Amino acid sequence: MEFSQLSTARLQLRKLTIEDAKAITALCNNPKIAYQTYNLPYPYKEEFVSERLSFIEEGWTTGSRYVWLITDLVSGQILGEMGLHVNKESNSAEMGYWIGEPFWNLGYASEAMQAIVEYGFRELNLDKIYASHFGDNPASGRVMEKCGMRKEGVLRKHVSSRTGIKDLVYYGLLKSDLMLPSLFIRKGMVEDAPLLHALGKKTFVDTFGGTCTKEDMEAVVDSFFGLEQCVQDLAEERDNFFFAELNGEAQGYMRINQMHPPPIADLESIPCIELVRLYVLSEYHGKGVADQLMGFAIDFAKRGGFQKMYLSVWEYNFRAQGFYKKWGFVDTGIENDFPLGSTPQTDYWYIRDIY
């Protein structure tokens, strides 16, 4: 399997390279880390990194393990490492990780673990992901709990460590534990203009409020989501609005169409479709609504015979950038001016293949 890079709001989970040896050694050559891991060598030497690199590459090739280097999304600073070690017979995987001491208690482990858990269930189709920690390291257990893992038991005086025989505490998460209520995603009609007017305005203001003057925001919102404009947009046959609802209550929506040429000239001869908007009410963030909408959008593009999907995302909307990268979109580096009234703002075009 080819390596898959992952991104979150603050992190980039990338491939380990030999150029990382010095930085990794500086972090790993620390007894506080070594004493809380099973097999991290100590003292740690730079030559260990080349052995580790071969081990990781062999795992991706055979599907036996998937390991990422955790780095800061903006600075590229190496923060730690995390991976899944697969048991193909039980279709499960054990999670293992280390975080450099300067970066403890900043939420990086939980953020990386959430992204890898999602990858394991969605891309590897695992049934279970589990992890363990020494009994005298409860902080690691809290990381697991934040990602939804449940404490499954304690194996008392079970494992030999550098500081003696220790308890081993196990946590686990089943794919079925994360099964969310299936949203009803339906195509918008002209009769939905009041809904689009209210939902579009609220989600846009929640996302961009405070980034421009009040007067500019009101003008932009009226232009995009005025009731008459919503009627016109929903009546346009070439346009597609979809609402995500649960028990008749809308939680988010998206707009997808091919009404404008793609931002890259080389793509003009390729069937492409633009994801114009994807917004979720703030109270439903982190509950899988955006994922269900995105999955629907990609299926819609597949059914339509499109080869590429592209979208524009604000340069400072790091949460959205992480979400789109998680779904395989790549930042082209091509700017898209998106002023809010008199306030200049810059978006960047992202694109992904439709398989």
- 88 backbone dihedrals φ, ψ, rounded to 5°: -70, -30
How many Cβ atoms sit within 10 Å of the Cβ of residue 89? 6
Q: Are residues 172 and 62 in the same domain?
A: yes
DSSP 181: P
Phi-psi region of 120 (alpha: psi -120 to 50; beta: other; left: phi over 0): alpha
- Residue that terminates a domain, selected from 132, 161, 177: 177
Q: Could you tell me if residue 314 is inside a domain?
A: yes
Q: Are residues 134 and 213 in the same domain?
A: no
Q: Are residues 240 and 121 in the same domain?
A: no
Q: Are residues 53 and 79 in the same domain?
A: yes
Task: Please report the pLDDT score of residue 346 as a whole number.
Answer: 92
Query: Residue 236 and residue 259: Cα distance in Å, rounded?
Result: 10
Q: Could you tell me if residue 239 is inside a domain?
A: yes
Q: Are residues 126 and 221 in the same domain?
A: no
Q: Are residues 151 and 171 in the same domain?
A: yes
- Predicted confidence pLDDT, tens digits, the chain (355 residues): 778 888 887 888 999 999 999 999 999 999 999 888 888 889 999 999 999 999 999 999 999 999 999 999 889 999 999 999 999 999 999 999 999 999 999 999 999 998 899 889 878 889 999 999 999 999 999 999 988 899 999 999 998 888 889 999 999 999 888 765 668 899 999 999 999 999 999 999 999 988 888 999 999 999 999 999 999 999 998 899 999 998 889 999 999 998 888 888 778 889 999 999 999 999 888 788 998 899 899 989 998 999 999 999 999 998 899 889 889 999 999 998 888 888 888 999 999 999 7
Residues sharing a CB contact under 8 Å with residue 61, sequence separation 6 or more, in sequence order: 1
Q: How many domains does the chain have?
A: 2
Q: Could you tell me if residue 305 is inside a domain?
A: yes
Q: Are residues 222 and 316 in the same domain?
A: yes
Q: Could you tell me if residue 1 is inside a domain?
A: no
Q: Are residues 87 and 153 in the same domain?
A: yes
> Full-prediction pTM beyond 0.75?
no
Assign 90 to helix, strand or coil: coil
Instruction: State pLDDT tens for residues 246-300.
Output: 888 999 999 999 888 888 877 888 999 999 999 999 988 878 899 889 989 998 9
Q: Are residues 173 and 44 in the same domain?
A: yes
- Residue that terminates a domain, selected from 157, 177, 197: 177
**Greatest distance between any 2 Cα atoms in the chain:** 72
Q: Are residues 13 and 140 in the same domain?
A: yes
Each as own residue / partner, the long-range contacts of residues 342-348 (CB below 8 Å, 24 or more positions apart, any chain) are: 342/212, 342/213, 342/216, 343/211, 343/212, 343/213, 343/216, 345/211, 345/212, 345/314, 345/315, 346/314, 346/315, 347/312, 347/313, 347/314, 347/315, 348/312, 348/313, 348/315
Output the domain CATH number for residue 84.
3.40.630.30
Q: Is the peptide bond before 262 cis (omega within 30 degrees of 0)?
A: no
Tell me which residue range forms the domain holding 11.
Answer: 6-177
Q: Are residues 195 and 299 in the same domain?
A: yes
43 with 57: CB under 8 angstroms? no
Q: Could you tell me if residue 61 is inside a domain?
A: yes
Q: How far is CA 33 from CA 28, 84, 130, 308, 348, in A?
A: 7, 19, 20, 44, 39
Q: Are residues 150 and 229 in the same domain?
A: no
Query: Residue 131 and residue 95: Cα distance in Å, rounded?
Result: 5
Task: Please report the pLDDT score of residue 181 as a whole number.
Answer: 64
- Residue that terminates a domain, selected from 177, 202, 222: 177
Assign 14 to helix, strand or coil: strand
149 with 141: CB under 8 angstroms? no
CA 213 to chain CA mean position, Å = 31
| Angle value at C-alpha 188, between 185 and 336, nearest 5 degrees | 95
